[in-house]
Structure 1
Amino acid sequence: MKPITINAIMTAKPGMEDNLFQEMQKMVAPSRAEKGCEEYTLHQSVEQEGVFVFYETWQDEEALKEHVATKHYQNYRRKIESLVEKREVYRLTKV
């Protein structure tokens, strides 16, 4: 089983940058504590205000599925709905 890397790029709605950033920050500690999480970091664009990126690596597909099913992830998705203008998620494997 190959590790799965996720690049999740979020663009905040105008005026919602701080709110989105705060909600994304809340995801880091509980996600890092999950079994199967190899890396979970939050980044902010230096070129575009309000653009944030989660860079995540999960041990395998099962670990990623478990992450998406967690209560903190489900709460996060619900809370950011009104804050996000654009959401792009890329699932990657090393080649």
Structure 2
Amino acid sequence: MEEITITAVIKAKSGREHELRGELIKVVGPTRTEHGCLEYVLNESMEDPRVFIFYERWEDQASVQTHLDSEHYREYRRATEELVESREIYRLQPITG
């Protein structure tokens, strides 16, 4: 069982950043209560108000999958579909040695 770190870089469509911010905030609370969620932090760029970044740490891949299958995650994706210009997801592993 290996911990998984994920960053999700989400950019709002022009003029939709306020709406997107509100929808992103809604998913934080329910996600933090999920089994296997070690850390789930929503950040916003200080340089570009359209850019938001989730920093996530999960116990394992099963925890990530449970999150992706959750009702609140599916609702968040539906609610933000028309608000997002781009979305980049990175699964990270530490460099050792």
Range class of TM-score, shorter chain: over 0.9
Show the counterpart of 1:35. Answer: 35
1:69 matched to 2:69? The reply is yes
Structure 2 gap ranges (5+): none
| TM-score of the pair, normalised by structure 1 | 0.97
1:1-12 maps to which residues of 2 (within 5 A)?
1-12=1-12
User: Structure 2 CA distance, aligned partners of 1:94 and 1:67?
Assistant: 22
Show the counterpart of 2:80. Answer: 80
Give the RMSD, CA atoms, in angstroms: 0.7
| TM-score of the pair, normalised by structure 2 | 0.95
C-alpha displacement of 1:94: 2.0
| 4+ residue runs over 4 A deviation | none
For residues 22-59 of structure 1, give each alpha carbon's deviation from its aligned partner in whole angstroms, at most 9, with x where no partner exists. 00000110000000000000000011121000100000
C-alpha displacement of 1:93: 1.9
The share of aligned pairs that are identical, in percent, is: 47
Q: Secondary structure at the match of 1:85?
A: strand
C-alpha displacement of 1:92: 1.0
1:25 matched to 2:25? The reply is yes
The count of aligned residue pairs is 95
User: Structure 2 CA distance, aligned partners of 1:15 and 1:93?
Assistant: 34
